[in-house]
Structure 1
Amino acid sequence: MSKAASTRTTPRLAAASPAVSPADARALVSSLTPLLHDWLPRQRWFAGKGRQITGFVPVTVTELLPMNAGGPWLLHLLVRVEQRGASGPPPSIPSSSTPAPAAASAGDCYQLLLGIRETLPPYLASALIGHVAEGPLAGLTAYEGLHDPRLAELLLERLGSAGAQGPLRFDRAGPVPVGLTGRLLGAEQSNSSLVYGDAFILKILRRVFPGPHPDLELPLALAAEGCERVPAPVAWFEAGDPSGSGESLTLGVLQPYLRGSQDGWQLALAALADGRDFTLEARALGRATAEVHTALADALPTVTLGRSQTAQLASQMADRLDLAAQAVPSLRPYVSGLRTAFAALAGLDEAGRGRPAQRVHGDLHLGQALRTPDGRWSLIDFEGEPARPLAERRRPQPPVRDVAGMLRSFDYAARSHEPWRPDWAERCRAAYCEGYAAASGVDPRAEPELLRAYETDKAVYEVLYEARHRPDWLPVPMAAIRRLAGEV
């Protein structure tokens, strides 16, 4: 690595390889630790809010762009964030400086792409992480590299050529044009996305886990089946699991950007504001959902849930209800009525009939559906509910789970409008199910016990989420809770 434009020598790291050595990685992360302590909890995609950060441990550090005279330096980091009160089992990702058995005490692993400069130009002021005070980066400025057009363009160029760069592996399914300007979207919460020239969108996964990631796995499978309802991945990059498990950590996926499209949530709110019916759109969206489900069932293994598996599903739903009621007192009066939905689900397969389960979207709602200017619906964001373990998100499930999520979304849209339009929501819900049935041959309403159980489980999740993050929205799922509990 060369000297910077100043008289001070910049850190010399891994001269023969973009992969930074464990000793240099420790020194770099130690140098950044005071800044990350302050910056990371403020990011929308950071899942550990409210828990004390006790340390940062490097997993891998890679120089995607070494520092040259006067230019930026792009560092790719996988960093384990250790916290007090961590909930749930940790991902099996050891640090680059500890042996594999230490993975049992690991915290969440996050992907960071940091720009490093001597001084930050004014147009990058909003990307500032901080000025490094000590260590190998002392005197330099760290910032969110995805805001930097030069670094964003470099990332696209790297995706265009398959191969390895240190511990990172780049792959592609088609040509990737160069020279496209990237802009960072600001709307996402659990990840970050760059749009390149209105032609491609690159999703950067922030909290990473070993194992096939649904946001790459499912679109690839659908593309192989010829399903055009989901944008097919053009390129992606991964890292090997340092624990030696043989699994990969999916880090980013590049897909076509559906120029001029609008998401279903925006369209539904606009229809409500204009007093327009939305049933034609809802029916078409039901057909699109069914087509995706059919293609997933053809592309990936399916299973049959027997009596014990169905009873276990019901038990897990009941457990989630109990935990939510402990956290949200306003839910407690309805627990008894809501439990009847899960009891009915547990009794569905007493005759030993069983029911099919397959890979599904896992977090389907109006915001995950895009309608292009020609009126065609597509589904996006197949990662499932980010708060749930990756293994759980990859399990086959009854397709009605996705249906229930979309039905709840119609209710949310109607409730967000003043005055509340329950009739609008009911017409949309019916039209969506009709469209689904026309395309699949299976009407989700044919098994009301199954649909009610999944809709109840979703509403309970919404109550817990709104109570924690958006208390003003709590009346929206609570209205559904009263209905599902048989109160109205």
Structure 2
Amino acid sequence: MSEAASTRVATSKRKTKSTTTSASTPAVASAGTSTTAGTNTTASTATNTPMSTAAGEDLLSSLAPLLHAWLPGRRWFAGKGQPVTHFSLVSATEILPARFAGTGPGLLHLLVRAHQPGLPTDAPGDCYQLLLGVRAMLPPRLAAARIGRVQDGPLAGRTVYEGLHDPRVAELLLERFRRPGTLGPLRFDGTTAIPAGLTPRLLDTEQSNSSLVYGDSHILKIFRRVFPGTNPDLELPLALSREGCRRVPAPVAWFEATTPQPVTLGVLQPFLRGARDGWQLALGALAAGRDFVPEARALGRATAEVHIALAAALPTPALSLSQTRQLADGMTGRLEAAAGAVPALVPYVPGLLTAFDAVAALGRGDSGCAVQRVHGDLHLGQTLCAEDGFWSLIDFEGEPARPLPERRRPQPPVRDVAGMLRSFDYAARSHRPWDDAWAARCRAAYCEGYAQAAGSDPRGEPELLRAYETDKAVYEVLYEARNRPDWLPVPMAAIQRLAAATD
């Protein structure tokens, strides 16, 4: 989730047929196909057989009219502004049999591609993970989760709804994590035993994913728009856990789809009960007229510790001349595109381009720019402070709108630093009157704290730091112009400062 979005409280390579519900060899299974010895008792006692490919396509065909109306309205749907022309099936799994459910719920797990105009005919649509509850009669308490009543097909006459809103369904999902193994195309894995009897509750801060808290001890993040490959929000916390880094909650369990290659679907981690996110703490300090310097310095130390652990756990290559040029070219391209969409940027383009030219010049030096795995979308809203003052970093998914290979690419550590520096500016300018001196003190303290832990001050790389701050501010300008015009002065103030910093 971007800093611009933080104030709101976050593809498979298979080619799909151009029909309403088809996909090439979709993986379709029922709970009866599980190879896990401890299959859910409700599922194992149902007299069902594995759902065939044809049955899965029939199922999607019957759900398509409801999905056309429901899916584009979800906060996590990425294709807003364009209609969905058709859906195609990647996989369908009955975690709890829906076709044979009586008064209790069924649970369908679907991976569905939403095809929209404007893409090449052979390009895959975005793939979404759906967890659909199925009931003959929907209780009043679940009315807000209702998607609609199915008119035909295998679920004719039944009501489907957003399954994560149903505590019974949420409990069942946790049971799958307590018994690792496979369920059709789904694989559940973990590192730590999970207690039984944890009461679930769905968080209402939905962004690019959905989250369930279990018993105030665990939190399950469900990724909604999914891509082939391991999600960094699983990969990096696992690597940090192996390094003994305590700054990031270690994954307890996770699940993925295996069709046609692994796709991370969800991660279960410890829930930091009583912790408050850095954004809210910063706003509280501003409202109280209190400085945030100690917290900013501690955040700098925490960031550096995470970077040090990531560098120890994963490769740390150096960018070649051509790669450094590509980095600068990418920033330049984003600036030019944003200036074409937001006229207010145009007068500042020449000054901003000097930041990217300076990065390109770095590639002509004797040694390449060092890069490593980083958080990728760091801001105050991605940090948590425990009651004892210990800071943690969360949400390593990166910017969800970017392709997964790009999010997994090693980057200069100052990218994370730049994101946090922009976050202090956003916090300061969300308060009236604007307190730029407050932000400047936080920025300095954060860099000082980082230097104390890392042994090097990020301000010692002025070209990279300015370039990444500029790139972030350009993104913010475009976002605010499109979504919150009243907030446009916030990033524009940074644009003016960065364009003038040409020395």
- Whether TM-score is above 0.5 comes out as yes
State the alpha-carbon separation in 2 of the partners of residues 139 and 332 from structure 1.
57
Residue 156 of structure 2 is aligned to residue 138 of structure 1: yes
Deviations 1:197-250 (A, max 9, x none): 1100000000111111100000000000000000000000001132xxxx3100
The letter for the 1-side match of 2:68 is H
- Of 356, 368, 372, the residue aligned with 2:370 is 356
State the alpha-carbon separation in 1 of the partners of residues 186 and 280 from structure 2.
37
State the alpha-carbon separation in 2 of the partners of residues 164 and 447 from structure 1.
48
Q: What secondary structure, in the 3-state scheme, does the structure 1 residue paired with 2:318 have? A: strand
Give the corresponding residue for 1:172.
Answer: 190
Residue 472 of structure 2 is aligned to residue 439 of structure 1: no
Give the corresponding residue for 2:123.
Answer: 105
Give the corresponding residue for 2:92.
Answer: 61
Residue 112 of structure 2 is aligned to residue 79 of structure 1: yes
Q: Please say if residues 131 and 139 of structure 1, whose CA atoms lie closer than 8 Å, have aligned partners that are also in contact.
A: yes
Residue 65 of structure 2 is aligned to residue 34 of structure 1: yes
Residue 299 of structure 2 is aligned to residue 281 of structure 1: no
Give the corresponding residue for 1:380.
Answer: 394
Q: What secondary structure, in the 3-state scheme, does the structure 2 residue paired with 1:412 have? A: helix
State the alpha-carbon separation in 2 of the partners of residues 322 and 20 from structure 1.
50
Deviations 1:115-159 (A, max 9, x none): 011111111111111112222222111100000000000001101
- Of 18, 33, 54, the residue aligned with 1:17 is 33
Q: What secondary structure, in the 3-state scheme, does the structure 2 residue paired with 1:227 have? A: coil
Residue 259 of structure 2 is aligned to residue 233 of structure 1: no
Question: Which deviates the most, 116-125 or 280-289?
Answer: 116-125
State the alpha-carbon separation in 1 of the partners of residues 391 and 65 from structure 2.
45
The letter for the 2-side match of 1:40 is L
Q: Report deviation, 1:307.
A: 2.6
Q: 1:433 to 1:16 in 2, by over 3 A?
A: closer
Question: Which deviates the most, 429-438 or 14-23?
Answer: 14-23
Q: Please say if residues 210 and 241 of structure 1, whose CA atoms lie closer than 8 Å, have aligned partners that are also in contact.
A: no
The letter for the 2-side match of 1:134 is D
The letter for the 1-side match of 2:51 is V
Give the corresponding residue for 1:464.
Answer: 478
Q: Report deviation, 1:16.
A: 4.8
Q: Please say if residues 185 and 259 of structure 2, whose CA atoms lie closer than 8 Å, have aligned partners that are also in contact.
A: no
Q: Report deviation, 1:349.
A: 3.3
Q: 1:17 to 1:417 in 2, by over 3 A?
A: same
The letter for the 2-side match of 1:410 is F
State the alpha-carbon separation in 1 of the partners of residues 32 and 373 from structure 2.
43
The letter for the 2-side match of 1:335 is V
Q: Report deviation, 1:162.
A: 1.0
State the alpha-carbon separation in 1 of the partners of residues 31 and 355 from structure 2.
62
Residue 223 of structure 2 is aligned to residue 205 of structure 1: yes
Give the corresponding residue for 1:99.
Answer: none
The letter for the 1-side match of 2:107 is L
The letter for the 2-side match of 1:223 is S
Q: Report deviation, 1:467.
A: 1.6
Q: Please say if residues 306 and 352 of structure 1, whose CA atoms lie closer than 8 Å, have aligned partners that are also in contact.
A: no
- Of 296, 310, 329, the residue aligned with 2:310 is 296
Gaps of 5+ in 1: 1-12, 90-101
Q: Report deviation, 1:20.
A: 2.9
Q: What secondary structure, in the 3-state scheme, does the structure 2 residue paired with 1:53 have? A: coil
Q: What secondary structure, in the 3-state scheme, does the structure 1 residue paired with 2:370 have? A: strand
- Of 225, 232, 240, the residue aligned with 1:214 is 232
Q: What secondary structure, in the 3-state scheme, does the structure 1 residue paired with 2:416 have? A: helix
Which gives a bigger RCO, structure 1 or 2 (Cα 8 Å, sep 6+)? 2
Q: 1:15 to 1:415 in 2, by over 3 A?
A: closer
Question: Which deviates the most, 376-385 or 182-191?
Answer: 182-191
State the alpha-carbon separation in 2 of the partners of residues 16 and 227 from structure 1.
40
Q: Report deviation, 1:14.
A: 5.3
With normalisation by structure 2, the TM-score equals 0.89
Q: What secondary structure, in the 3-state scheme, does the structure 2 residue paired with 1:252 have? A: strand
Gaps of 5+ in 2: 1-28, 35-49
1:197-346 alignment to 2 at 5 Å?
197-242=215-260, 247-346=261-360
State the alpha-carbon separation in 2 of the partners of residues 20 and 451 from structure 1.
54
State the alpha-carbon separation in 1 of the partners of residues 208 and 500 from structure 2.
34
Q: Report deviation, 1:380.
A: 0.3
Question: Which deviates the most, 263-272 or 187-196?
Answer: 187-196
Please, what is the CA RMSD of the aligned residues? 1.5
Question: Which deviates the most, 278-287 or 20-29?
Answer: 20-29
With normalisation by structure 1, the TM-score equals 0.91
Q: Report deviation, 1:30.
A: 1.0
Q: What secondary structure, in the 3-state scheme, does the structure 1 residue paired with 2:176 have? A: helix
- Of 158, 169, 174, the residue aligned with 1:151 is 169
Give the corresponding residue for 1:97.
Answer: none
Question: Which deviates the most, 473-482 or 360-369?
Answer: 473-482
State the alpha-carbon separation in 1 of the partners of residues 300 and 501 from structure 2.
29
State the alpha-carbon separation in 1 of the partners of residues 343 and 219 from structure 2.
42
State the alpha-carbon separation in 2 of the partners of residues 240 and 355 from structure 1.
36
Residue 80 of structure 2 is aligned to residue 49 of structure 1: yes
State the alpha-carbon separation in 2 of the partners of residues 286 and 487 from structure 1.
24
Q: Please say if residues 307 and 352 of structure 1, whose CA atoms lie closer than 8 Å, have aligned partners that are also in contact.
A: no
Q: Report deviation, 1:352.
A: 2.2
State the alpha-carbon separation in 1 of the partners of residues 344 and 57 from structure 2.
47
Q: What secondary structure, in the 3-state scheme, does the structure 1 residue paired with 2:398 have? A: coil
Q: Report deviation, 1:350.
A: 2.0
Q: Please say if residues 30 and 184 of structure 2, whose CA atoms lie closer than 8 Å, have aligned partners that are also in contact.
A: no
Q: Report deviation, 1:468.
A: 1.9
The letter for the 2-side match of 1:287 is R
State the alpha-carbon separation in 2 of the partners of residues 420 and 444 from structure 1.
26
Deviations 1:275-294 (A, max 9, x none): 00000000000000000000
Question: Which deviates the most, 469-478 or 456-465?
Answer: 469-478
Q: Please say if residues 20 and 60 of structure 1, whose CA atoms lie closer than 8 Å, have aligned partners that are also in contact.
A: no
State the alpha-carbon separation in 2 of the partners of residues 60 and 15 from structure 1.
13
Give the corresponding residue for 1:4.
Answer: none
Percent identity between the two aligned chains: 70
Q: What secondary structure, in the 3-state scheme, does the structure 2 residue paired with 1:356 have? A: coil
Q: Report deviation, 1:471.
A: 1.9
Deviations 1:371-427 (A, max 9, x none): 000000000000100010000000110000000000000000001000000000000
Q: What secondary structure, in the 3-state scheme, does the structure 2 residue paired with 1:305 have? A: coil
Q: Please say if residues 103 and 137 of structure 2, whose CA atoms lie closer than 8 Å, have aligned partners that are also in contact.
A: no
Q: 1:157 to 1:385 in 2, by over 3 A?
A: same
